[in-house]
């Protein structure tokens, strides 16, 4: 029996990569529903090209289909906070959740994991670093894990001096050195808010305290994560910077299949690692602060960053303005830790309106 896959955010980078993986494993998987936010014609073309059973841009239909269809796996490739409800609906339905939408975890990690546990839903991370850690934890018993390392490319401005960063443009930020991704996550790579979100994602997914998670810049994007054991060895996962690998692993878990992309050539580049210059990447320490403060802070970090990146695209905020705005809202009194999905959305909405108010009053 072929496994039926629902692909959320099918017109995006993760979505298209997922369709390509399903296509190259058509004896194992078939495309059930595909969804997107807009660009309905493009979605219809993808549905025809990949023989999807159905497609939609309507949120209510998406949630109902997740609930009622007999699909086996939901791949969540939606960008941003809009991915949260579909993740919850998947957890409730007991279908497997192949999760690229890191915002779901950052906003509601403990609640989503609990909902999944109750309903027998397996959450398999697709974010490359967490997919790597998911594989690596099979090799090292939890009590022997001393530290987790996730790598970062350093984004578009990795080699630009600190002094030149204040005036960089959105166009420059979109020029990523190694990964091809959607616009929001590409800017998040340049600020390292993406790595900040991933530190938080690792805290919730792997139940680790933030100070046991380290970020290293690794310009070649081949080593995605490492685990340091208590006796001092490192275990690492190495592959090409190609999202088809973690997507495929999430689909075939716990098994493996033949690869959908070319072999990784380890001789193409020297592999190197260095510490990030935190003056250049203030969003990174802010993520550690949010992770230490708890769920209201991590929701706020994500929400304000989304508003700030949008303002950066509209040239209302400078590059460093993104971190300044995030810090300003984190400095305001935080709401109590949310216990329900409704409370999560309320904290998210409060953070967004606080950020918008500051922007309206000329924050820069
Ligand atoms: P993208 O911008 O390329 O695609 C986003 C998709 O989500 C599109 O299909 C869009 O129609 C849909 N979408 C956007 N807003 C929506 C809304 N309000 N409701 C429903 N659907 C909506 O983004 P991407 O780069 O593919 O990233 C998707 C997610 O995966 C993000 O959470 C990102 O952090 C994560 N991720 C991406 C990569 C990558 O390589 N691109 C790697 C790791 C994690
Ligand atoms: Mg990642």
Residue 259's pLDDT band (boundaries 50, 70, 90)? confident
Taking only the tens place, the pLDDT of each residue in 143-192 is 999 999 999 999 999 999 999 998 999 999 998 888 888 899 999 999 99
Residue 262 in this model has a pLDDT that exceeds 80: no
The span from the CA of 344 to the CA of 285, in Å, is 23
CA of 132 to the centre of ligand 2 (A): 10
Residue identifier of the C-alpha nearest atom 25 of ligand 1: 182
| Average model confidence (pLDDT) across the chain | 96
86 neighbors 76 (Cβ within 8 angstroms): yes
The span from the CA of 363 to the CA of 69, in Å, is 47
Element (H, E) at 14: helix 13-24
Extended strands (E) in the chain:
3-8, 29-35, 54-56, 73-76, 96-99, 123-125, 145-152, 213-217, 223-229, 234-238
The span from the CA of 37 to the CA of 60, in Å, is 12
The span from the CA of 140 to the CA of 263, in Å, is 26
Q: Residue 176: its pLDDT value, please?
A: 82
The span from the CA of 78 to the CA of 14, in Å, is 8
- Nearest ligand for residue 181 CA: 1
Give, for ligand 1, the residue of 43, 77, 287 to mutate: max count of ligand atoms closer than 8 Å to Cβ. Answer: 77
Taking only the tens place, the pLDDT of each residue in 65-104 is 999 999 999 999 999 999 999 999 999 999 999 999 999 9
Q: Residue 129: its pLDDT value, please?
A: 98
Q: Which atom of ligand 1 is nearest to the CA of 13?
A: 26
The reply to whether ligand 1 has any atom less than 6 angstroms from the CB of 102 is yes
The reply to whether ligand 1 has any atom less than 6 angstroms from the CB of 92 is no
């Amino acid at each position: 029996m072929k496994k039926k896959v629902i692909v959320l955010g099918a017109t995006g980078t993760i979505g298209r990569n997922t369709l390509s993986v399903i296509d190259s494993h058509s004896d194992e998987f078939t495309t059930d529903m595909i969804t997107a936010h807009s660009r309905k014609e493009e979605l219809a073309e993808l549905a025809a090209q990949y023989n999807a059973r159905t497609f939609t841009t309507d949120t209510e239909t998406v949630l109902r289909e997740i609930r009622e269809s007999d699909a086996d796996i939901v791949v969540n490739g939606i960008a941003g906070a809009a991915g949260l409800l579909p993740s919850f609906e998947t957890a409730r339905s007991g279908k497997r959740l192949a999760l690229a939408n890191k915002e779901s975890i950052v906003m509601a990690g403990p609640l989503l994991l609990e909902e999944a546990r109750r309903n027998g839903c397996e959450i398999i991370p697709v974010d490359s670093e967490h997919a790597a850690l998911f594989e690596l934890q099979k090799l090292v018993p939890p009590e022997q894990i001393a530290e987790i390392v996730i790598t970062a490319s350093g984004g578009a401005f990795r080699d630009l001096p600190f002094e030149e960063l204040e005036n960089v443009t959105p166009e420059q930020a979109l020029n990523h050195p190694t990964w091809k991704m959607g616009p929001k996550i590409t800017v998040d790579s340049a600020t390292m808010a993406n790595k900040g979100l991933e530190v938080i994602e690792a805290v919730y997914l792997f139940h680790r305290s933030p100070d046991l998670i380290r970020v290293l810049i690794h310009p070649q994007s081949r080593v995605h994560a490492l685990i340091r054991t208590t006796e001092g060895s490192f275990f690492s996962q190495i592959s090409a910077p190609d999202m088809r690998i973690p997507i495929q692993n999430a689909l075939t878990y716990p098994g493996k299949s033949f690869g959908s992309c070319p072999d990784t050539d380890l001789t193409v580049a020297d592999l190197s690692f260095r510490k990030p210059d935190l003056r250049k990447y203030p969003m990174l320490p802010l993520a550690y602060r949010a992770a230490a403060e708890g769920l209201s802070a991590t929701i706020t970090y994500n929400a304000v960053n989304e508003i700030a990146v949008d303002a950066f695209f509209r040239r209302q905020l400078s590059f460093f303005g993104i971190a300044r705005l995030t810090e300003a809202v984190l400095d305001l009194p935080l709401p109590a830790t949310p216990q329900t999905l409704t409370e999560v959305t309320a904290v998210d909405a409060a953070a967004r309106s606080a950020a918008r108010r500051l922007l309206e009053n000329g924050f820069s």
